[in-house]
A and B are shown apart, each in its own frame.
Chain A
Amino acid sequence: MASVRAQTADDAAHLPAEAAEGGLHIDPMHQFEVFPLIPIRLGGIDASFTNASLWMVIAVAVISLLLLAPAKKLVPTRLQLIGELAYEFCFNMVRDVVGENGRPFFPFIFTLFLFILAANMLGMVPYSFTVTSHIIVTFALALFVFIGVTILGFVRHGAGFLRFFVPAGVPVVLLPLLVVIEVISYLTRPISLSVRLFANMMAGHTMLKVFGAFVVGLGVLGGWAPLAFMVAFTGLEILVAFLQAYVFAVLTCIYLNDALNMSH
């Protein structure tokens, strides 16, 4: 499915671009193509090990290398220091947003944050594949968080969790309408979580690819301008990679806080 979409987008991107510069091929969509590396079929389901799976494994490997650094000295080495900074950053975030109730969920949030951060950052490596630039990946993560937090709310508060959708101090006449609006705004959470990360990553990498093509297409004489922009934009993309991972983790903490402490 992804390759078919990429092909039609390729055709659409080729036509105006080839008319512009002689031989300039702007092909921003090809980098998002998912292809199987080790085809595996599990009874009708295509469970192949794709390039997306490969880069997810690499992300997990990078995180493990960072956190399982062998030298656990009391005075930390630089690698261990990075791990400790990440740990403390995430721990403070969980404690500030969720409070003490959120302590059991810190490993989950930490894992989520580090995975998205590693996946985003690995996408900045040239010729790599950005795992989070596919809506299905981000939607899977967001759905996991959303369903988990909702179940958690029901487990913690029972049926009283439904009181979350009834805002206080509202005239009874408006209540049905407001409850429906509250439910809709609650249901937007997984969509906004996933679309935010996906749109940022996909737009960023598409822009990088397009301006990279400009640099090559304009040649030695004219290529300096897009190159300067590329340098600045790559810096921005690294910031966005970190920021989007942070925003995802913070919003997960906020939703967790809503479910656990029902502060609404």
Chain B
Amino acid sequence: MGDDRHTDSSSRLSELGRRLDEARGAERKGRPQGSQRGAALGFGFRIAVDLVAAVIVGFGIGYFLDWLLGTSPWLLLLFIPLGVAAGILNVIRSATEEERRRRQQDTPDDPSE
């Protein structure tokens, strides 16, 4: 982090590396299950909010354009299903990417990846 004195002997650097690995390992051993469950929880909430947000945005755009152009309710009727479609598209994209990432994690020794 800005400390560029490479004149230190290699033993001090390896000592630093050992201590960092120890600290990092201790932290990771503390909650291996917790962080995995936490990541899954975060992902689930992420896509749930994505779906709801897309419906809200579709409704908002439709309502705003209706108010602007005075064509109530047709633009609203048009944009709500588009918002629903966009939300489902988002969820499908996120879920597919997460599945691909998880598959890659499960088989990290695949040379073709």
Chain A interface residues (CB < 8 Å from chain B) = 72, 74-75, 81, 83-85, 87, 180-182, 184-185, 187-188, 191-192, 195-196, 199-200, 239, 242-244, 246-247, 251
Contacts and interface: CB of A to CB of B under 8 A. Distances in A.
A75 B57 contact: no
Contact of A243 (B3, B42, B49): B42
B85 A181 contact: yes
A48 to B, nearest CB: 30
Contact of B16 (A72, A75, A243): A75
A188 B1 contact: no
Given A75-B12, A84-B1, A181 B82 contact: yes
A195 B27 CA distance: 31
A188 B54 contact: yes
Interface residues of B, number: 37
Interface in B48-96: 49-50, 52-54, 56-58, 61, 79, 82-83, 85-87, 89-90
Which 6 pairs, one residue from A and one from B, show the smallest C-beta to C-beta distance? A192-B53, A185-B86, A184-B86, A191-B53, A196-B49, A188-B54
B50 A87 contact: no
Interface of B: 1-3, 5, 8, 12, 15-16, 19-20, 23-24, 27, 34, 38-39, 41-42, 45-46, 49-50, 52-54, 56-58, 61, 79, 82-83, 85-87, 89-90
Contacts of A72: 1-3
Contacts of A185: 54, 86-87, 89-90
